[in-house]
Chain A
Amino acid sequence: EAGVVQSPRYKIIEKKQPVAFWCNPISGHNTLYWYLQNLGQGPELLIRYENEEAVDDSQLPKDRFSAERLKGVDSTLKIQPAELGDSAVYLCASSLRGGPNEQFFGPGTRLTVL
């Protein structure tokens, strides 16, 4: 079974530029999560999808961040414009819906904003 796929793995951009991250969850997983992981910290949830619906985006900075999950499968997280403080690892995870189901994490995208 293929795991959660993320691309790109690394991205370096200059501040004020836009950037997008892509995630393909495990087949059949209804729930998709985007997490932000700062250096030396645990992941923090940005947004959670149930199928194509964003059911928890309370931690997403909506002035510059946006996300979509068209057709309830792949998802894209976008930052526009990027700021220096956005340098971090962006993790995508997926799970089956309901209960204490395990979240499977992708390898993440490491973003560096110069």
Chain B
Amino acid sequence: AQSVTQLGSHVSVSEGALVLLRCNYSSSVPPYLFWYVQYPNQGLQLLLKYTSAATLVKGINGFEAEFKKSETSFHLTKPSAHMSDAAEYFCAVRVSGNTGKLIFGQGTTLQVKP
């Protein structure tokens, strides 16, 4: 069975600092992996996705993530945090087969301090 673990339920950074949100996955087959962002009282918005092409994936708003099979990780990074990046971030893995089902991690709240 596939699963996702996000390390750290809360991450706090200063504006302009590096953002690193950690995600580890468990999958017996090559996974499809996703990062979503959720702003307060809004739905989830896709930041980026890994679909077995390039291991370094670039997304919207300056975010990127690197797929590392050896570490079963898909960490999300951004070189310089903006105040507007404060939100909840979810890592997700797509269940194998043509199901479309996503399994989400518990989420990480990113706080950006001025």
Chain B residues contacting A107 (CB-CB under 8 Å) are 41-43
Name the interface residues of A86-114: CB closer than 8 Å to any CB of B.
91, 93, 95, 97-108, 110
Q: Are B107 and A4 in contact (CB under 8 A)?
A: no
**Chain B residue total in the interface (Cβ 8 A):** 23
Proximity bits, B63-88, A CB within 8 Å = 1, else 0:
00000000000000000000000000
Q: Are B107 and A42 in contact (CB under 8 A)?
A: yes
Q: Which secondary structure dominates chain A's binding surface?
A: loop
Q: Are A103 and B100 in contact (CB under 8 A)?
A: yes
Chain B residues contacting A42 (CB-CB under 8 Å) are 90, 92, 104-107
Offer 19 A-B interface pairs, CB within 8 angstroms, sorted by A. A31-B100, A42-B104, A42-B106, A42-B107, A43-B102, A45-B101, A45-B102, A48-B99, A48-B100, A56-B101, A91-B43, A91-B44, A93-B43, A100-B51, A100-B94, A102-B49, A107-B42, A107-B43, A108-B42
